[in-house]
Amino acid sequence: MVIDGHNDLVLQRWRGDHPKHIDLETAAEAGFAGGFFALHVPSPYDGDPPPPPYALPIAEAIPADEAARITEELFETLCSLPVRRAESVDDFREGEITAIVHMEGAEAIAEDLSNLEDWYVRGLRSIGIVWSRPNAFAEGVPFEFPALPDTGPGLTNAGKALVRACNELGILVDVSHLNERGFWDVAEVSERPLVATHSNAHALCASTRNLTDAQLIAIRESAGVVGVNFAVTFLREDGLNDFEATGLDEIVRHVDYLADRMGIDHVAFGSDFDGAVVPAALGGVSGLPQLVDALRERYDAGEVDRITHGNWLRVLDATWR
């Protein structure tokens, strides 16, 4: 069973595009049990980075009313999918697909948090404070390679209040797309495990979207987890968007590094299916059995189970209680 830290299937369906990586009719046959289904309001340019080195300007902020309207439409799209919506770890069952309602960028949340509890009642269980653009709560990290994620200021006062409120309600706070200062602010404020739903090791791929060793250690010490991102540009040492020449070994390389630095209990999958270019050798959900087989050559059955689903269930249970 695979529980995945991030996919953008909802955005693809909202746009009317054919999904690239997830076929819900056959996904369960590949062991895909669902995971974090993102409600992501796209920026005008939300595409793939150019060949490295590159330094894309940070995306412009989305007006709050526009973001709220689009997020409502995205949520309606998610509700139309033939999936169960998770409110407890018991909602995940082998052979079925379960969706965690996840906001990738908190623009739809009022700055005074007046609608946060309403969203919780509707099923929201995870928030990425930012995508790679600023909002009322924090500033995202721009897409740069090679570069460090220390790119700007941290959480606003509203952002710190959002983290505290999420802790109280039982909403997971995702640090993916935050810059480094924002990450450390979350680490200081939050009383729950630190989670990066779809990020990789900066030491192996020097993208601003990846995590430094110091960040990995902080996540380990909080009993948190990192979902390994399958995006080619966040996997490869050279940062190239060469999906044809990128094998499953690049994903395994990041799993190995994270397991070595943090321990096996803190590593999971965060594919970014339908939101990124992934290795051709993987293809999409249908390639998950091959990836799991590659991990079985290096880890025992219990360790593989923790990577594929056990670590997510542990962290979700600790956060949602």
**Which residues touch 46 (CB under 8 Å, ≥6 apart)?**
59
Prior bond to 289 cis, omega within 30?
no
Answer whether 105's CB lies under 8 Å from 174's CB. Answer: no
Cβ neighbours around 177 below 10 Å, total: 26
12, 23 contact by CB (below 8 A): no
Residue given tokens 């509700």 in the structure block: 79
Q: Compute the distance between CA of residue 156 and CA of residue 141 in angstroms, rounded to an integer.
A: 15
Alpha-carbon distance 312 to 2, whole Å? 10
Give the strand pairing for 144-145 and 54-55: antiparallel
Contact between 130 and 139 under an 8 Å Cβ cutoff? The reply is yes
User: Can you give the pLDDT at residue 41?
Assistant: 98
pLDDT at 47: 74
CA dist 49 and 319 (Å) reads 34
Cβ proximity of 35 and 3 under 8 Å: yes
How much is the pLDDT for 85? Answer: 98
Distance CA 35, CA 96 (A): 11
Q: Which residue has the tokens 């050798």?
A: 281
Q: Selecting from 3.40.50.10190, 3.20.20.140, 3.30.390.30, 3.30.420.40, what CATH number does the domain 2-320 have?
A: 3.20.20.140
Tell me how many helices (H) and strands (E) the chain has: 11, 11
Cα 319 from Cα 170, distance rounded (Å): 6
What's the pLDDT score for residue 112? Answer: 98
* Residue 220 phi, psi (nearest 5): -60, -45
Q: What count of residues does the chain have?
A: 321
- Write down the H helix ranges in 50-149: 64-80, 116-122
pLDDT by residue for the chain (321 residues), tens only, comes to 999 999 999 999 999 999 999 999 999 999 999 999 999 999 987 777 889 999 999 999 999 999 999 999 999 999 999 999 999 999 999 999 999 999 999 999 999 999 999 999 999 999 999 999 999 999 999 999 999 999 999 999 999 999 999 999 999 999 999 999 999 999 999 999 999 999 999 999 999 999 999 999 999 999 999 999 999 999 999 999 999 999 999 999 999 999 999 999 999 999 999 999 999 999 999 999 999 999 999 999 999 999 999 999 999 999 997
∠ CA 277-279-280, rounded to 5°: 105
